[in-house]
Chain A
Amino acid sequence: METKFTEAYEQQASDTGHETDCSKVAQLLDAVVDGEATAEEQTFFTGHLEDCVPCFESHQKQKLLKGLVSGNLKRMLVPERLALAIKTKIQATTV
């Protein structure tokens, strides 16, 4: 039963091979953007993007999204007294 199912699935996959690759790429999107993909995954990803405009665009979007946070999010100023308060408390603590 399993064999028939996988045969049918593989037949479908080869007919719609394009979509299956796209869904694999979609799953790798975050890992690639975060530099966490393996070399093999990276190669597959890059290769697919050369032939697939929608996937290329979603990669661009994901890079942009990450950049919005890493490049644009304002950092809060640490209150001046905080470092001093910590040092004082540490020095007063006898463990």
Chain B
Amino acid sequence: MSDQTGKQISKEEKDARFEAELLPVLDPLYNFAYRLTLDEDDANDLVQETYLKAYRFFDYFEQGTNAKAWLFRILKNSFINEFRKKSKQPAKVDYSEVEGYYNSEDVEGESGVATTTDMRTESVQDLIGDEVASALNALPVDFRTVIILCDLEGFTYEEMAKILDIPIGTVRSRLHRARNSLKEKLEKYAKSMGYNG
């Protein structure tokens, strides 16, 4: 790798730049990996794989440009190529909609979450969070992906189009359908809790 004057830079310097620019994305990247794989071990492997690929192609990354979008794109491609085939929970990454999404076992599955699981002290906020997570996890992976990229990670439609390798029009229509799907699932839950209208 060369610096701006065209001289070869040392591996130490390359590693330092890599860590400074790309490691800060670790938290959102891990969360994205988890939402895709729904498995902590797979998410771990996927993230490591992504950073290794990013390192191999670091020479092609323009310093100061959108590191987050670049990493998300690499991760999404790795997921499609490698993890969808060997996912430990194929039903959850199946493209067909999952019936009867609310499964009480799934709520316990959010084990790495930074909050108490003691039902007596669990706030309404936590319960809502669990429900939103369950509903989101039950969506087909394409729908889940656009909602996370837009609502959680705050990417623009244009960034999403680049990450997913689809036209902006498809980003918009997919987001629209994904939100309708999520709305339906959450309305089912609201009704089951006695909220009407």
Answer yes or no: A53 CB below 8 A from chain B CBs: no
B58's closest neighbor in chain A, by CB? A95
Q: Which of B15, B113, B152, B183 contacts A70 (CB 8 A)?
A: B152
Q: Is the CB of A69 within 8 A of B136?
A: yes
Query: A52 contacts which chain B residues (CB < 8 A)?
Result: none
Q: Which of A36, A65, A72, A76 contacts B183 (CB 8 A)?
A: A65
For chain A, give the interface size range: 20 to 34
Answer yes or no: A39 CB below 8 A from chain B CBs: no
A86's closest neighbor in chain B, by CB? B51
B interface secondary structure, majority: helix
B154's closest neighbor in chain A, by CB? A70
Q: Is the CB of B132 within 8 A of A75?
A: no
A81's closest neighbor in chain B, by CB? B44
| Interface hits, B18-56 → A, CB 8 Å | 18-19, 23, 26-27, 30-31, 34, 40, 43-44, 47-48, 51-52, 55-56
Q: Is the CB of A66 within 8 A of B172?
A: no
- Which A residues have a C-beta under 8 Å from some C-beta of B? 29-31, 34, 36, 61-62, 65-66, 68-70, 72-79, 82-83, 85-87, 89-91, 93-95
Apart from A29-B176, A31-B157, A68-B132, what 15 extra A-B contacts exist at CB < 8 Å?
A34-B157, A36-B156, A36-B157, A61-B183, A69-B148, A72-B125, A72-B128, A73-B132, A74-B115, A74-B133, A76-B31, A82-B30, A82-B47, A86-B51, A95-B56
17 residue pairs from A and B, CB less than 8 Å apart: A30-B179, A31-B157, A31-B172, A61-B183, A68-B128, A70-B154, A73-B136, A74-B113, A74-B130, A76-B40, A78-B30, A83-B26, A87-B23, A89-B51, A90-B52, A93-B56, A95-B55
